[in-house]
Amino acid sequence: MLFKKLLRTIWHYKAQFISMIIMVLLGVGVFVGFQGEWKSIEQDTFSFYKSTGFADYRLVSEAGYSKEDMDKIASIDGVDKISRYISVKTNESKENDVIAVTVTTNFDVSSFVVTSGEQYDDSSLDAIWVNDQYASKNNYKLNDEMTLKYGAVSLKGTIKGLIKSSEYLICTPGENQMMPDFNTYGYVYISPEKYKTDLGGFEFYPEIHVISKLSKKEFSDSANEKLGKTNLILTKNEITSYFEAQGEASEGKTMASILPVVFLGIAVLIMATTMQRLTINEKTQIGTLKALGFRDARIVRHYTLFGLFIGVIGSLLGVGFGYFIAWFIFNPGGSMGTYFDLPSWAIHMPWWTFLVVFGVVVFMTLISYISAKNMLKGTAADALKPYTPKAMKRLKIEDSKGWRRLKFATKWNLRDLFRHKARSFMTLFGVFGCTVLLVASFLMMDSMIGFVNKFYYGSMNYASQISLKDETTKEKALEIVSYYDADYSASTNVSLNEEAIAMDIYNISHDYVRFLDKEMAYLKLSDDGVYIGQRLMESNNLKIGETFKVSVFGSDTTYTLKLAGQLRTLTKGVVMSQKYADEIGITYKINQVFTSKEKDTINKDTKYSDFISTVKSRNDIIKSFDSFMQVMYVMIGALIVLSIILGIVVLYNLGTMSYFERYRELSTLKVVGFKDKKIGKLLISQNMWLTVAGYLIGVPAGIGITFVLMKALASEYEMKLIFGWMTVVIPLILILGVSLFVSYLVARKNKKIDMVEALKVPE
């Protein structure tokens, strides 16, 4: 019988029940979804690395490694698998796209998975295994012929398989291109036999890839000792396809640990208040059951089922919704799919996520239990009495001079806010939470757009970037610089405290390349020191004015550099002027040229084409940045939309609660002669006060949370919070809009007040 009552009560309070289920659904959904996003990146990339033998260490040498060198490294205790490896950029004959031709001498290391076609054959002299995404974008099919050119060498073969390799998980040609573009850049694998044959019996492997559990120091010491020289040894943490993917996962983890937790917190607290109020509304019925002779335990059990019901249904739907959110962010057809080239896009969830969801159900059940218990306090007669809110007491502000001048509506609303503190606080908290989420979302978006805009549109002040071939002499390079009236740079890798970092030496006379200082202003490189980013400064505990040493790989040369300033940068590296480099005697090779000439003009001009490896237009790079921003837009956009929905549900729920709690007062006003519009204004104005107050405290909190978030994300981006007017104005418009809309919906109920029925209720 009580079960029937349970179902009918749920039906009676359907609006509240639905809103509570929606709140659990949203809170749990956002929480689960964001946890699923980072866990799926972590898990799916991990599986991919494992199945393709992603190397832990890479020895790099411009002179190349022989089989003997590899055998020496293989003899180190703790080296599990080893391979010689090369990835060289070639030009595809049809479209002149850049294709990285890859060879690994041991298929257990740095290899690939076949998505269609034939498996790998290490002795094939004809087969080419092509990245499936590049093949799809460029209409290559299995058994098609493909020709790749590297200088005078021509590699021809038949496409035998379509593949994915974790080496190219993020398939970008260079560090200043954030997103892959498979229309113009891809990769292929060929067998070592084909490589050797096509090169006329010659083989050159500039890298040794190693799978080992040794620490970097253990491995470096052993490798340097075995080979008898200092080697450039890169850990997987220095490889884009690893650190960017793990950075994305850790970025997701950081975001998931703050914003969705706020989201879940708001939903659960407001739901708890609603649950408690709902039980209060049932007080007379609880009393009736008690008076009839039902035992307290049975009544409590009955009312506890309400919380359990909402918790279970909401959580189940929430988990489903969470999986949808995770899929929405992390799926091959979405924006993440334009970033990662993964063979599996399965959604994974951290185990403790389900524990949290279980906790939500327990919490909801507990709230129902406690609320019902409270209603049963005292005798059956006590329980039968309808719930009355606390008697009104004078507020302290009533002693102030201005109080008497306040309008009736203001006094009424103010006293009501204090009389129903829990409800008022929850409304305030709901608006506060939504403001925090909205401000944080917009601020993050503004900061990222601001930073990347300044970095791309401002710092890259050139039209084209020309990469010179390795064999280009300094004299020839300077000739090219002069011919294109360009700025130039020389990039090489050095070691700073065992970490491989880039060392970029610039000669800038046209301002084609600019640098951002700590305050996001453009700075001119001084000639009395070097510049590094915040991450390197912090990880090496460096301060401006101090000196530090970097060592050159493959030699005993070290340079002592003076730190002249801090930069905001996307890469980890040292930047200096050519004058400073010359002063301290650094030897370098010019390999990048920056010019205002357009890419097409340079490509058409054959004068120096033998010395140019690639030409990239600034627009190509910016296009990839737009794709990168898409990923951010999707995540932040989802958060904004869900915050607004949460705001609507929270405010509607609390607004309705407030309306029902004041039903009698509103009826009295109506009987006395107040019009619906005037009563509606009363209700709306109270909501608007709370909205404005919630917004005002939400803005600094939102900024604070974003600051914490940015700090936590500092290992990924070196960004500064950028406040645009939109950061605070758009959330204000959205919050006010949501509040007005919801208040209007609630105020409309006035028209349906049954004055006769309402006033029958005894006080």
Phi and psi (nearest 5°) for 577? -85, 155
Nearer to another protein, 390 or 543 (CB): 390
Residue 681 neighbours by CB distance under 10 Å: 16
Instruction: State the nearest-atom distance from the C-beta of 245 to another protein, in Å.
Output: 59
Nearer to another protein, 396 or 604 (CB): 396
Residue 55 neighbours by CB distance under 10 Å: 28
Instruction: State the nearest-atom distance from the C-beta of 421 to another protein, in Å.
Output: 13
Nearer to another protein, 291 or 759 (CB): 759
Residue for token pair 């962010």: 329
Nearer to another protein, 389 or 637 (CB): 389
Task: Take residue 442 and report the two structure tokens written for it.
Answer: 């917009």
Is there a contact between 597 and 464 (Cβ–Cβ < 8 Å)? yes
Nearest to 718 by CA among 576, 570, 574: 570
Instruction: State the nearest-atom distance from the C-beta of 325 to another protein, in Å.
Output: 43
Nearer to another protein, 198 or 416 (CB): 416
Instruction: State the nearest-atom distance from the C-beta of 393 to another protein, in Å.
Output: 7
Amino acid (1-letter code) at residue 472: T
Instruction: State the nearest-atom distance from the C-beta of 756 to another protein, in Å.
Output: 5
Instruction: State the nearest-atom distance from the C-beta of 720 to another protein, in Å.
Output: 48
Is there a contact between 646 and 434 (Cβ–Cβ < 8 Å)? yes
Phi and psi (nearest 5°) for 33? -60, -45
Nearer to another protein, 15 or 755 (CB): 755
Nearest to 342 by CA among 39, 52, 34, 136: 52
Nearer to another protein, 388 or 541 (CB): 388
Nearer to another protein, 84 or 423 (CB): 423
Instruction: State the nearest-atom distance from the C-beta of 670 to another protein, in Å.
Output: 7
- In order, the DSSP letters of 284-344 are HHHHHHHHHT--HHHHHHHHHHHHHHHHHHHHHHHHHHHHHHHHHHS-TTSTGGGT---S-
Instruction: State the nearest-atom distance from the C-beta of 679 to another protein, in Å.
Output: 10
Nearest to 727 by CA among 707, 702, 756, 747: 702
Instruction: State the nearest-atom distance from the C-beta of 248 to another protein, in Å.
Output: 53
Nearer to another protein, 720 or 749 (CB): 749
How do strand 499-507 and strand 547-552 relate by DSSP bridges? unpaired
Nearest to 507 by CA among 443, 445, 579, 555: 579
Nearer to another protein, 8 or 67 (CB): 8
Instruction: State the nearest-atom distance from the C-beta of 410 to another protein, in Å.
Output: 11
Instruction: Decide: helix, strand or coil at residue 220.
Output: helix
- Rounded Cα distance between 380 and 81, Å, is 77
CA torsion sign, 505 to 507 to 512 to 514? Answer: positive
- In order, the DSSP letters of 22-69 are HHHHHHHHHHHHHHHHHHHHHHHHHHHHHHTT--SEEEE-TT---HHH
Question: How many helices (DSSP H) and strands (DSSP E) are in the chain?
Answer: 22, 21
Instruction: State the nearest-atom distance from the C-beta of 287 to another protein, in Å.
Output: 19
Residue for token pair 């299995």: 142
Nearer to another protein, 469 or 664 (CB): 664
Q: List residues binding another protein (CB under 8 A).
A: 389, 391-394, 408-409, 411-412, 415-416, 419, 664-665, 667-676, 678, 751, 755-756, 759, 761-763
